[in-house]
Chain A
């Protein structure tokens, strides 16, 4: 638990903003609480807010959450080497509670110490601590938001939190290319039904990013 303290201020801020943004975007308090407790994915919760508010059907919202979460597939690909001797149930629990911070912390320690003992317990402890801090702060945010006037426009804080998440990813050429291709398509095609504009933007963006990625790799070799 002591190891996970450095991440706490970031999680506190992120949790508060997510809680406030969910309610200020017009989500009922009970839905905001339920989504926060069950989904436990801050970036996906914030990213899907405009879609939920616009009344998009659930499969589009789930798809957007899925793509936003695809980074976790990479995480779990790196994690499984350390956990594949544990039981299926244990791995499901570890997977459910993986977060950005806990993953980064675990990989640091695993690289330093290799197959250290009780790593599943250590990982679960770090995840549990993060889960608790996150849940408490986002519930505080949800409840506090009911006291804040809507005219302040605080729902935009959620978009700004996502922006802080996206900028570091755009500091590499492939990420920047992906975002630069995806965003204008989504803006121009925003009128299309079934979230096709989002879908087209994401697919074109990924293609652009992968193309630039292989260009960069070729230049290096």
Chain B
């Protein structure tokens, strides 16, 4: 039994349930101030940024901002495609094809 993975699973279940259900359970008693609401609204995009960007620009421990970095090229192309077509599936396909192509070359 892998204790750390078990704790990870339990922690993620709690983190998800708390964010989804806490206010529903509290009813109307608990009010959010506009500033807190703004903070909550922008927290996910910040979390996504700190998790995505290092995955893209850090290669084998160091920052690689050149076009020799397959993930950077793939992410830029996928972003451009998403902005053009607004398609999540297309964005994933374009980026994945580029990463796989880099590996095959």
Known: A10-B88, A187-B58, A210-B35. A88 touches B43 (CB 8 A): no
Main secondary structure of the interface of B (DSSP, over half): helix
B68 contacts the other chain (CB 8 A): no
Q: Which size class do A's interface residues fall under?
A: 35 or more
A71 contacts the other chain (CB 8 A): yes
Q: Is there contact, CB below 8 Å, between A202 and B50?
A: yes
With both chains docked as a complex, state the minimum distance between the C-beta of B69 and any C-beta of chain A, in angstroms.
Answer: 12
Bound complex: CA A80 to CA B29 (Å): 11
Bound complex: CA A47 to CA B9 (Å): 14
Q: Is there contact, CB below 8 Å, between B25 and A95?
A: yes
A118 contacts the other chain (CB 8 A): no
The interface residues of chain A lying within 8 Å CB-to-CB of B105 are none
Q: Is there contact, CB below 8 Å, between B44 and A65?
A: no
Main secondary structure of the interface of A (DSSP, over half): helix
Known: A178-B49, A187-B63. A209 touches B20 (CB 8 A): no
Q: Is there contact, CB below 8 Å, between B20 and A96?
A: yes
Q: Which residue of B lies closest to A183 (CB)?
A: B53
Bound complex: CA A53 to CA B89 (Å): 25
> Which residues of chain B (43-99) have a CB below 8 Å from chain A?
43-58, 63, 70-71, 74-75, 78-79, 82-83, 88-89, 91-92, 95-96, 99
A167 contacts the other chain (CB 8 A): yes
The interface residues of chain B lying within 8 Å CB-to-CB of A67 are 43-44, 46-47
Bound complex: CA A56 to CA B33 (Å): 33
Q: Is there contact, CB below 8 Å, between B89 and A13?
A: yes
Q: Is there contact, CB below 8 Å, between A187 and B53?
A: yes
Bound complex: CA A67 to CA B40 (Å): 9
Q: Is there contact, CB below 8 Å, between A62 and B15?
A: yes
Residue in contact with B50 in the complex, picked from A43, A73, A98, A201, CB distance below 8 Å: A201
A101 contacts the other chain (CB 8 A): no
Q: Is there contact, CB below 8 Å, between B56 and A167?
A: no
A134 contacts the other chain (CB 8 A): no
Q: Is there contact, CB below 8 Å, between B99 and A156?
A: yes
Question: In this complex, which of A14, A166, A184 has the most chain B Cβ atoms within 10 angstroms of its Cβ?
Answer: A166
Q: Is there contact, CB below 8 Å, between B19 and A62?
A: no
Can you spell out 8 A-B residue pairs with CB atoms less than 8 angstroms apart? A152-B100, A156-B71, A161-B88, A167-B91, A178-B45, A182-B46, A186-B50, A190-B58
18 further contact pairs, Cβ within 8 A, besides A154-B96, A183-B52:
A52-B5, A58-B8, A66-B19, A72-B16, A76-B19, A80-B24, A98-B20, A156-B71, A156-B95, A159-B56, A161-B92, A165-B88, A169-B48, A178-B42, A183-B53, A201-B49, A202-B47, A209-B42
- Sorted nearest first, the 7 A-B pairs with minimum C-beta distance are A95-B21, A62-B11, A205-B46, A209-B42, A186-B50, A183-B53, A58-B7
Chain A positions near chain B (C-beta within 8 angstroms)? 9-10, 13-14, 17, 28, 31, 34-35, 38-41, 43-45, 47-48, 50-52, 55, 57-59, 61-77, 79-81, 83-84, 88, 91-92, 94-96, 98, 151-154, 156-157, 159-167, 169-170, 174-175, 178-187, 190, 197-198, 201-202, 205-206, 209-210, 213-214
